[in-house]
């Protein structure tokens, strides 16, 4: 128990004193993960929307594959990205290994399936209620996708938050492809691993506390969005 209290005390002290090391790491974590969520959204939302409104042979298979990709173990993704971007690998010439770039790439691969899945579900539901109207107005495929994405933006925001939550706490993949380099690829989770291995639980707990704080803030946002959604549907 001593460890826990000492650690929390030390962690709080670091946060309040605006410890430079701490904030550098937090900022980098946010930069990497927010970039990943943005890029993943640019892929996941159109794909999810397209799967919701298209009818083609193999559509069910495509949806099944997209859903099962959610089960990709993050650390395996990390290993595969490492092999691809290693100097001995096919993309080695890009010199992106052990940089934030490959960390973002790995996180994008990890979170795109779940974001696409949530988007597909939400957009599919909305499409079911809009369909007759859109057919009646002879909207094009593109116009249909646009109106669905725009009107389903709340659900898509939640998808983004889900992706963020999964990415910010991931450690295996980004440790492998990032190398946990000080002042360069070290983020919240990988720093926790390092500080723990030094037996320095104070800093590790401080970082862990921030991670928890981010998760809590996330959940508050989600709660706020979904509850305001609920009050709407009660209007007569």
Partner 1 sequence: MVTMSASFQLEKIIFSRDGRRILGPITHSFSERGFTLVIGPNGAGKTSLLRLLHKLQEPDSGYISLPLGKNGVPQRQSFVFQVPILLHRSVFENAAYPLHLSRGSSAQVREETMHYLEMVGLNDNHGAMAEDLSGGQKQLLQLARALITRPKILILDEPTSNLDGRSTQTIEALLADQYRIDTRIIMTTQNVVQARRLASEVIFIHEGQIVESAEASAFFDKPLTPQASSFIQDGIVR
Partner 2 sequence: MRYLAVLITYLATLSGISAGATEFRLAVTTTFENSGLSDVILPQMRRDLGITIHALIGGTGQALRWGEAGNVDGLLVHSAEAEKKFVSSGFGVHRRKIMYNKFVIIGPHGDPAGIASVDTINDAFRKIKRSRSLFISRGDDSGTHRRELKLWQASGYDVSKFNPSWYRETGTSQGATLNTASGLNGYALTDQATWLNFSNKGELIELFSRGPLLRNQYAFVSVNPNRHPSVNYADAMRIEAWLASPHAQKLIGDYHINGKRMFIPNAQTGSSKKKSGEVK
SS3 label, residue 12 = helix
Q: What is the 3-state secondary structure (H, E, C) of 185-221?
A: CCCHHHHHHHHHHCCCHHHHHHHHHHHHHHHHHHHHH
Q: Which of 29, 33, 99, 189 contacts partner 2 by CB under 8 A?
A: 99
User: Least CB distance from residue 59 to partner 2, whole Å?
Assistant: 25
Q: Is 137 in the site for partner 1 (CB under 8 A)?
A: yes
Per-residue x/- track, 143-172, partner 1 (CB under 8 A)? x---x---x---------------------
Q: Is 236 in the site for partner 1 (CB under 8 A)?
A: yes
R_g of the chain, CA atoms, integer Å: 21
In this structure, are residues 221 and 229 in contact, taking their beta carbons and an 8 Å threshold? no
User: Least CB distance from residue 227 to partner 2, whole Å?
Assistant: 35
Q: Which of the ranges 37-45, 52-60, 93-101, 127-135 carries the binding residues for partner 1, by CB under 8 A?
A: 127-135
Instruction: Supply the DSSP symbol for 138.
Output: T
In this structure, are residues 120 and 51 in contact, taking their beta carbons and an 8 Å threshold? yes
Report how far apart the first and last C-alpha atoms of the chain are (Å, whole number): 54
Per-residue x/- track, 173-212, partner 2 (CB under 8 A)? ------xxxx-xx--------x-xxxxxx-----------
Partner touching 130 among partner 1, partner 2, none, CB below 5 to 8 Å by kind: partner 1
């Amino acid at each position: 128990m001593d460890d826990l209290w000492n650690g929390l005390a030390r962690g709080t002290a670091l946060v309040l004193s605006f410890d430079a090391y701490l904030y550098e790491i937090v900022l980098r974590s946010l930069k990497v993960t927010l970039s990943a969520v943005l890029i993943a959204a640019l892929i996941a939302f159109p794909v999810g929307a397209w799967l919701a409104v298209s009818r083609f042979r193999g559509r069910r298979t495509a949806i099944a594959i997209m859903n099962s990709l959610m089960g990709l173990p993050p650390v395996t993704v990390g290993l595969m990205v490492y092999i691809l971007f290693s100097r001995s690998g096919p993309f080695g010439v890009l010199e992106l290994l052990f940089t934030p770039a490959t960390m973002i790439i790995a996180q994008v691969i990890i979170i795109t399936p779940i974001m696409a899945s949530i988007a597909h579900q939400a957009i599919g539901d909305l499409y079911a209620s809009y369909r007759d109207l859109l057919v009646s107005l002879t909207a094009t495929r593109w116009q249909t996708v646009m109106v669905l994405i725009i009107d389903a933006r709340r659900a898509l925001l939640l998808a983004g938050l889900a992706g963020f939550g999964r990415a910010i706490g991931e450690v295996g993949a980004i440790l492998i492809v990032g190398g946990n380099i000080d002042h360069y690829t070290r983020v919240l989770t990988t720093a926790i691993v390092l500080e723990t291995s030094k037996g320095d639980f104070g800093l590790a707990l401080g970082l862990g506390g921030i991670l928890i704080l981010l998760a809590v803030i996330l959940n508050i946002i989600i709660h706020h969005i979904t509850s305001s959604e609920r009050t709407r549907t009660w209007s007569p």
